[in-house]
Amino acid sequence: MKQKRALRQPHAMLACVLGLLAPLALLLPWIRQGGGSLGGLGLLTASPQVLALRPLAFFGALGFLFSLYALFSKNRNAMRGLAAAAAAGVLAAVYALLTAKATADASLTLAEPFFVSHLGPGLWAFGLLALATLVLSLMALRQPVAYVVLSSMAAVWLVPVAWLLLTAFRQEPGAYTPYVLPRGYTLMNFSRLFTETQQFNFPRWYMNTLIVAVITCLVTTTLVLMISYAFSRLRFPSRKTYMNVGLIISMFPGFMSMIAIYHILKAVGLDQSLVSLILVYSGGGALGYFIAKGFFDTIPRSLDEAATIDGASKNLIFWKIILPSSKPIVVYTAITAFIAPWVDFIFVSVIMKDNYQNYTVALGLFRMLEREHIYEYFTRFCAGAVLVALPITLLFIKIQKFYVEGVTGGAVKG
Amino acid sequence: MKKFFVTLLALALALSLTAVAVAETVTLKVWGSQEDQAMLQEMVEAFKAANPDKTYDITFGVVGEPDAKTRYLEDPAAAADVFAFPNDQLYDLLAADALYEVTRNKDAIVAANSAGAIEAASAHGQLYAYPMTADNGYFLYYDKSVISEEQVQTLDGILAAAQAAGKKFFMDLSNGWYIASFFLGAGGKLGLDENGAQTADFNNERGVLAGEAIKALAAHEAFLTGDDAILTGGMGDTIAAGVSGTWNADAIKEKLGENYAATKLPTFTLGDEQAQMGSFAGFKLVGVNTMTAFPEDAMAVAEWLTNEENQVKRFELRAMGPSNVNAAASEAVQANIALAALAAQSQFAVSQKDVLGGYWTPAEAFGATMEAKDYTKDVKTLLDEMVAAITAK
Amino acid sequence: MSGANTVSARSGKGFFSELAAIFRGGDAATRLTFLVMGLGSLVRRQFVKGGLFLLSQVLFIWYFFGFAWQYLSKFTTLGTEGMRREWSEARQIFVRTPGDNSMLILLFSVFSLMLLLGFVFLWRASLRAAYRAQLDARAGRKPATFQEDLRRLLNERFHLSLLSLPTLMAFAFTILPTIFMILIAFTNFDANHQPPGNLFTWVGLTNFTDVFWKDPLKAGTFGRVLGWTMIWAVIATFTNYLFGMVLAIMINQKKVRLKSMWRTIFVITIAIPQFVSLMLMSQLLHDQGALNMLLKQWGFVSSSVPFLTDATAARITILVVNLWVGIPYSMLITSGILMNIPKDLYESASIDGASPVRMFFSITLPYMMFVTTPYLITAFVGNINNFNVIYLLTRGGPLVTDYYQAGKTDLLVTWLYKLTVDRQNYSLASTIGIFVFVVSAGLSLLVYNMSGSARKEEEFQ
């Protein structure tokens, strides 16, 4: 049975005290209006509601009760309840803050921002106290405080994603709307990508990209592993010079290089083909070998030496020792290589030129943003982007197992 | 290397074929934007039917007009034999000697198209391309329910009406194309000196007055800037009037419904007078690639694609304004609100041909400075810097 | 270039003295190999090897005179005759006769020169093979069979098998275009010298003097764009790295549950193509965008925040958006490596009673810096060349009138892009490119060779 761990004491006490204090913030002034100000209690009973205070007051009271209970019982469950109530309290405070202006007076146009000129210290005090209670109760429970940071960061990271999804399902066309939430929702943006292929042949481009991405991924990963192994494990003349050249050679910025590459590919008859895309993306990706080389350097040399004594060739060592310990870096390389064809829209336009059938999905999507198309196609553009993001996200979820499984494990100590 | 093989092979073939005379197949490639592909194919089929004595193998590539120059310069040999481009790319294409002069049937083409279109397709006294459309310009869209026909005549009237309704007047001032309408309205000139370098007088006395007018507009409460997306998104909701071109006609019509209206640009207050806002007149042209193996046939196709019949077809299928005089005079074209507004504006428009690539960024910079209400430098200084940058080699 | 060092270092002799030694010591067959590649090997019954050498010589000569010479012969002038234009009364057109194409001459000259260089090394390899076979025969050993050669490629000479394909690809897709671009900086390739209609030619250092001091407008713009590029690259790299690592550490904490869920949340942003997320960001952050709309609705501000239209605000916005874009990447790479830190280091430290913060600074950070120096360099250089974030968010704006074709958030690389695509000023763009290259390459070499990763690569085990 799992051993029951004791609460961390000073933190628990402090959390309870703050949990008791938080609801008292309701006594402070909350809204300034015409010289005077209104306290939280007054606002609570005001009708119609001037501030979205009821959920806030509810969770404050709940926290108060849990604090009392925890203070006397030293019970883990009471502390859990306090943490939950505090978290809800923080959310309720944020909600109250964001809706303050709308509930108070939606048509209010002010010289100064509303929350400077109209908001009293009550809301701030409550929010901060609830946050502190949350942090302390987590500490008391010996739970990572990181949850708080992680959740707020996750929210920030997901907002643009949510926005993308909303737009992908939005009924009204246009890139810009003078309101935030769509007025209607539809699946048509997705279905029309596949049915109306006259102007933008999305399904075909999607397949092109998928083919290019899969092959590029395989080729690049192989190349990167080959190069990194050679530089990390093999010793040969001028290795250093070779590595230095490899390090800097891809650092020349310029767009003429694309035109040069186009002409080279044309000279060997590969222009405007998917093969040329694969070559170009793999060639570019392979130069990112430095990270993998650094990773190989950390795999203990003693393992190789033992194998060499057993008579293994360099080739065998690569397959039997290095490769099995390199899953994280293989996954990293593979993901990076797989993504490249989905996101490049410049190189592919130089290489494909007028060959519409061989476009990739990124170039096709980018075309939807041209001024003649953007109004009609923007929502479909977002739908297309969702369809692009989907396989990559799924791939990552699938592959995380290997990724997290970790690395050399016990073998490290050799 | 492939070229080398092909040359060898071609040589061998040519030698073996000299004895046998075979009817030559004319191989041509035509570029057009994707939405024009079906229409182009139809036109080319009609062309083939009209010329049954020759065998044609005509293929199509998808390159829209805005990309024509870039794609052409990357590899002229692989570019289309016949391609459409906007007239502001003319000088850049000529610098690469990309275009055949229009010499066959020249008089008929000159007579059939509007003088402005012919002028836009000409340089150094030569006609270099076949005018295709005359709709690449801008004018004013407005909401009839907010702005009256009288108010729409002046910028001040529009701003007042919009403000009264709690709405905005939209114009993309941080854009060299649109902002020029003030300087052109004040009589400013963009030209070329004898070396072909850009000249500009937007910093003279009247230019500064135009700059002040821009400053005043940018600072006005009812003024709204942004890209096309803002205009099409907000028209009818938050925007009462906006400056844009025919490519937004459908979207704006949809948003405004029966309040949809369009007209020429208004007058603006220049010092103590009212001056009509000018504009750039843009045309889309069809050119024949100098690298083509069949110049005469390519010219025939280009001429066919831009003849009266096909310009009418372009208008019917894609609502593109014709440069052909007869087509433009047709009742259907006249009844199109956006094209009528463009036509009304065209008498105040100047050709965009003498505007080289160096103009756009500095002009946009001036507009952006005004929009940001950054007044650390006065208008005169900013305009001096702008002109210096425009005319820099 | 690197190939040259590889071989000469092995023999410990110069290129020519080695060849001279082979010539002196060689018998008739070896000496004839100087003219006919593979002969020495063929004589010693190494048929496959010798045959391959011979075949490559035939192919090369055929290529060189069949294809390369037409370009190489014009390399010094980059062509003398542009497209010709003549009036034909019969056809009623100005007949064009194609002339020289300076760009293709330059490109294929470089290509052919590189191929020639490769051929020289192949030629030397055939001489060496011949000489070695001769020595083996004299010593009474059986010359290596083809199978033995192949087997050596999997062990002692494994590096050759591993590196030749990547090297070939690097030459074709990176080195050749780079040399091509570098050479363009010494020409007058711009809108007025545009092939195929016009020729361009060598102009020496004119472009360099123009952009670095002679032309005040360009030089002034260059200096200020460079300044912002450096500030941007330093801040963007370190904020991303640090926050990414902190995020990784937070998720990797033993007690944190649902690790893969947290990671997935952040990785979704990688899955969305950058141009899509950045397009959305610029919509969100626009003066009339959703964020400003919400901020006003919430009462936080009373007029729009100029996120992208005010110079300083735009710079900060870009750095922040770059965090959103970049942190998931650095989280990913650092968490992979964090898990690779030997656990016993932490165990012994915690027995000694070290606090988590101490452990971070005395174990985690040094280890991470050691392993991730290459990543940091790549990230830094990547930020110097961070085209997407800048171009898709602001296009370099807000523009100002006293910059030459550039704006306040332009990096050298976006400026260079505009000069190439909008102005066709290829030579000026290449000049700036060379500068960026020298800076990033110099910095990378310096940091990398001084860093622990390079100096102690043999020790850290």
> CA of B211 to nearest chain C CA: how many angstroms apart?
13
- pLDDT for C3 beyond 80: no
Look up residue C80 and give its DSSP letter: S
- Whether residue A400 and residue C260 make contact (CB cut-off 8 A), yes or no, is yes
User: In terms of domains, do C222 and C109 share one?
Assistant: no
- Whether residue B291 and residue C400 make contact (CB cut-off 8 A), yes or no, is no
- Whether residue B251 and residue A375 make contact (CB cut-off 8 A), yes or no, is yes
From B274-278, C243-247, C278-282, C447-451, the region with the lowest mean pLDDT: C447-451
> CA of B315 to nearest chain A CA: how many angstroms apart?
16
User: In terms of domains, do A127 and A211 share one?
Assistant: no
- pLDDT for A67 beyond 80: yes
Mean pLDDT in residue range A279-293 = 83
Q: Which residues of A touch C259 (CB under 8 A)?
A: 404
- Please, which residues 111-150 of chain C have a Cβ atom closer than 8 Å to chain A? 111
Q: Spell out where B74-222 has E strands.
A: 82-86, 122-123, 126-127, 130-133, 139-143, 168-170, 190-192, 198-200
- Position with higher pLDDT, A143 vs B175: B175
What are the phi and psi torsion angles at B277 (to 5°)?
-70, 135
Q: Which residues of A touch C293 (CB under 8 A)?
A: 178-180
- Whether residue C272 and residue A253 make contact (CB cut-off 8 A), yes or no, is no
User: In terms of domains, do C253 and C150 share one?
Assistant: no
Q: What is the mean pLDDT of chain C?
A: 86
* Structural domain contains residue C205: no
Total structural domains in chain A? 2
- Whether residue B97 and residue C82 make contact (CB cut-off 8 A), yes or no, is yes
Chains that touch A (3 or more CB pairs under 8 A): B, C
Mean pLDDT in residue range C175-204 = 91
Of all residues in chain C, the one with the smallest CA distance to A114 is: C299
C269 at interface of A, judged by CB pairs closer than 8 A: yes
Q: Which residues of A touch C280 (CB under 8 A)?
A: 160, 163-164, 167, 382
pLDDT value, residue C105: 94
Mean pLDDT in residue range A100-104 = 75
Burial class for C63, CB neighbours closer than 10 Å (0-12, 13-18, 19+) = middle
* Structural domain contains residue C203: no
pLDDT digits (tens, 9 = 90+) for C31-52: 999 999 988 888 888 889 999 9
Assigned token pair, B40: 């182009």
Q: What is the mean pLDDT of chain B?
A: 90
B238 at interface of A, judged by CB pairs closer than 8 A: yes
- pLDDT for A42 beyond 90: no
- The proportion of chain B whose per-residue pLDDT surpasses 70, expressed as a percent, equals 94
> CA of A205 to nearest chain B CA: how many angstroms apart?
14
> CA of A98 to nearest chain B CA: how many angstroms apart?
23
* Structural domain contains residue C195: no
pLDDT value, residue A77: 85
Mean pLDDT in residue range C196-216 = 89
**Partner residue opposite B372 with nearest CB, options C66, C198, C309:** C309
Tell me the three state secondary structure of residue B98.
coil
- Paired with C86 in beta bridges are C95
Mean pLDDT in residue range A138-155 = 88
pLDDT value, residue C322: 94
- pLDDT for A414 beyond 50: no
pLDDT value, residue A1: 37
Measured CA to CA, the distance from residue A196 to residue A364 in angstroms comes to 14
> CA of B290 to nearest chain C CA: how many angstroms apart?
7
Report which residue type is found at B177.
W
* Structural domain contains residue C193: no
Report strand pairing: B122-123 vs B190-192. Answer: unpaired
> CA of C222 to nearest chain A CA: how many angstroms apart?
15
H/E segment holding residue B288: strand B284-288
pLDDT value, residue B23: 63
A-B contacts at Cβ under 8 angstroms: 76
Measured CA to CA, the distance from residue C234 to residue C440 in angstroms comes to 12
Mean pLDDT in residue range B78-94 = 92
Residue closest to C384 by CA, chosen among C163, C182, C236, C252:
C236
- Whether residue A176 and residue B237 make contact (CB cut-off 8 A), yes or no, is no
- The proportion of chain C whose per-residue pLDDT surpasses 90, expressed as a percent, equals 34
- Position with higher pLDDT, C195 vs A107: C195
- Whether residue C401 and residue B364 make contact (CB cut-off 8 A), yes or no, is no
Report which residue type is found at B172.
D
> CA of A310 to nearest chain C CA: how many angstroms apart?
14
User: In terms of domains, do A135 and A251 share one?
Assistant: no
User: In terms of domains, do A106 and A201 share one?
Assistant: no
Chains that touch B (3 or more CB pairs under 8 A): A, C
pLDDT grade for B325, boundaries at 50, 70 and 90: very high
- pLDDT for B390 beyond 80: yes
Mean pLDDT in residue range B34-43 = 91
How far CA B140 is from CA of A99, A283, A375, B43, B179, in Å, comes to 38, 50, 18, 33, 14
* Structural domain contains residue C207: no
Q: Which residues of B touch A374 (CB under 8 A)?
A: 228-229
> CA of A251 to nearest chain B CA: how many angstroms apart?
23
- Whether residue C444 and residue A251 make contact (CB cut-off 8 A), yes or no, is yes
pLDDT digits (tens, 9 = 90+) for A294-307: 778 777 888 888 88
Of all residues in chain A, the one with the smallest CA distance to C392 is: A366
- pLDDT for B291 beyond 50: yes
User: In terms of domains, do C151 and C291 share one?
Assistant: no
- pLDDT for B17 beyond 70: no
pLDDT grade for C6, boundaries at 50, 70 and 90: very low
Q: Which residues of A touch B234 (CB under 8 A)?
A: 176, 178
- pLDDT for B11 beyond 70: no
User: In terms of domains, do C151 and C237 share one?
Assistant: no
* Structural domain contains residue A170: no
User: In terms of domains, do A320 and A409 share one?
Assistant: yes
* Structural domain contains residue C291: yes
A-C contacts at Cβ under 8 angstroms: 343
pLDDT value, residue A35: 65
Burial class for A361, CB neighbours closer than 10 Å (0-12, 13-18, 19+) = buried
- pLDDT for C144 beyond 90: no
Q: Which of A119, A143, A167 is the last residue of a domain?
A: A143
User: In terms of domains, do C164 and C255 share one?
Assistant: no
- pLDDT for B79 beyond 90: yes
User: In terms of domains, do A37 and A108 share one?
Assistant: yes
User: In terms of domains, do C12 and C106 share one?
Assistant: yes
Mean pLDDT in residue range A235-249 = 85
User: Residue C296: which CATH number?
Assistant: 1.10.3720.10
> CA of A62 to nearest chain C CA: how many angstroms apart?
26
- Please, which residues 297-336 of chain B have a Cβ atom closer than 8 Å to chain C? 299
Of all residues in chain B, the one with the smallest CA distance to C83 is: B97
* Structural domain contains residue A158: no
pLDDT digits (tens, 9 = 90+) for C417-436: 998 888 888 999 999 999 99
pLDDT digits (tens, 9 = 90+) for C57-110: 999 999 999 889 999 999 999 988 888 889 988 888 999 988 899 999 999 999
Mean pLDDT in residue range B144-150 = 94
Q: Which of A83, A118, A143 is the last residue of a domain?
A: A143
Q: Which residues of B touch C293 (CB under 8 A)?
A: none
Tell me the three state secondary structure of residue B61.
strand
User: In terms of domains, do A112 and A199 share one?
Assistant: no
- Whether residue C423 and residue B357 make contact (CB cut-off 8 A), yes or no, is yes
Of all residues in chain C, the one with the smallest CA distance to A221 is: C166
pLDDT value, residue A5: 66
Q: How many CA atoms lie within 13 A of B268 on its CB side?
A: 24
- pLDDT for B94 beyond 70: yes
- pLDDT for B362 beyond 90: yes
Of all residues in chain A, the one with the smallest CA distance to B60 is: A354
pLDDT grade for B319, boundaries at 50, 70 and 90: confident
- The proportion of chain A whose per-residue pLDDT surpasses 90, expressed as a percent, equals 20
pLDDT value, residue A309: 87
- Whether residue C440 and residue A251 make contact (CB cut-off 8 A), yes or no, is yes
SS (H, E, C) chain A: CCCCCCCCHHHHHHHHHHHHHHHHHHHCEEEEECCEEEEHHHHHHCCCCCCCCHHHHHHHHHHHHHHHHHHHHCCHHHHHHHHHHHHHHHHHHHHHHHHHHHHHHCCCCCCCCHHHHCECHHHHHHHHHHHHHHHHHHHHCCCCCHHHHHHHHHHHHHHHHHHHHHHHCECCCCCCCCCCCCCCECCHHHHHHHHCCCCCCHHHHHHHHHHHHHHHHHHHHHHHHHHHHHHHHCCCCCHHHHHHHHHHHHHCCCCHHHHHHHHHHHHCCCCCCHHHHHHHHHHHHHCCHHHHHHHHHCCCHHHHHHHHHCCCCHHHHHHHHHHHHCHHHHHHHHHHHHHHHHHCCCHHHHHHCCCHHHCCHHHHHHHCCCCCCHHHHHHHHHHHHHHHHHHHHHHHHHHHHHHHHCCCHHHHHC
- Best of A170, A171, A176 to disrupt the B interface (most B CBs within 10 Å) is A176
pTM, whole model, 2 decimals?
A: 0.86
Q: Which residues of B touch C393 (CB under 8 A)?
A: none
- pLDDT for A404 beyond 70: no
pLDDT value, residue A411: 24
pLDDT grade for A3, boundaries at 50, 70 and 90: very low
pLDDT digits (tens, 9 = 90+) for B213-245: 999 999 999 999 988 888 998 898 899 999 999
Domain extent for A289: 192-413
pLDDT grade for B22, boundaries at 50, 70 and 90: low
Q: Which residues of C touch A112 (CB under 8 A)?
A: 302
User: In terms of domains, do A240 and A365 share one?
Assistant: yes
Taken in order of first residue, the domains within chain B and their CATH numbers are: 25-128+284-322 (3.40.190.10), 139-279+353-390 (3.40.190.10)
pLDDT value, residue A299: 78
pLDDT grade for C458, boundaries at 50, 70 and 90: low
- Whether residue C424 and residue B92 make contact (CB cut-off 8 A), yes or no, is yes
Domain extent for C269: 216-455
Measured CA to CA, the distance from residue A83 to residue C435 in angstroms comes to 56
pLDDT grade for B108, boundaries at 50, 70 and 90: very high
Mean pLDDT in residue range A44-67 = 79
pLDDT value, residue C13: 61
Mean pLDDT in residue range B124-137 = 92
From A126-130, A215-219, A279-283, C341-345, the region with the lowest mean pLDDT: C341-345
- Paired with A37 in beta bridges are A32
Report which residue type is found at B272.
D
pLDDT value, residue C8: 39
pLDDT digits (tens, 9 = 90+) for C378-412: 788 889 988 989 998 998 889 988 898 899 999 99
From A151-160, A394-403, B103-112, the region with the lowest mean pLDDT: A394-403
pLDDT value, residue A137: 87
- Whether residue A114 and residue C340 make contact (CB cut-off 8 A), yes or no, is no
* Structural domain contains residue C201: no
User: Residue A350: which CATH number?
Assistant: 1.10.3720.10
Of all residues in chain B, the one with the smallest CA distance to A378 is: B229
Measured CA to CA, the distance from residue B52 to residue B63 in angstroms comes to 28
Q: Which residues of A touch B233 (CB under 8 A)?
A: 174-178
- pLDDT for A409 beyond 50: no
Total structural domains in chain C? 2
pLDDT grade for A405, boundaries at 50, 70 and 90: very low
Residue closest to A225 by CA, chosen among A312, A134, A325:
A325
* Structural domain contains residue C280: yes
Look up residue C212 and give its DSSP letter: I
Measured CA to CA, the distance from residue C3 to residue B390 in angstroms comes to 48
B7 at interface of C, judged by CB pairs closer than 8 A: no
Residue closest to C413 by CA, chosen among C182, C286, C209, C233:
C233
Q: Which of A80, A115, A143 is the last residue of a domain?
A: A143
Q: What is the mean pLDDT of chain A?
A: 83
pLDDT value, residue C146: 83
- Please, which residues 204-263 of chain A have a Cβ atom closer than 8 Å to chain B? 259, 262-263
> CA of B25 to nearest chain A CA: how many angstroms apart?
22
> CB of A315 within 8 A of CB of C154?
yes
User: In terms of domains, do C32 and C179 share one?
Assistant: yes
Look up residue C100 and give its DSSP letter: -
Mean pLDDT in residue range A274-283 = 91
User: In terms of domains, do A278 and A361 share one?
Assistant: yes
pLDDT grade for A410, boundaries at 50, 70 and 90: very low
Mean pLDDT in residue range A311-334 = 82
pLDDT grade for C456, boundaries at 50, 70 and 90: low
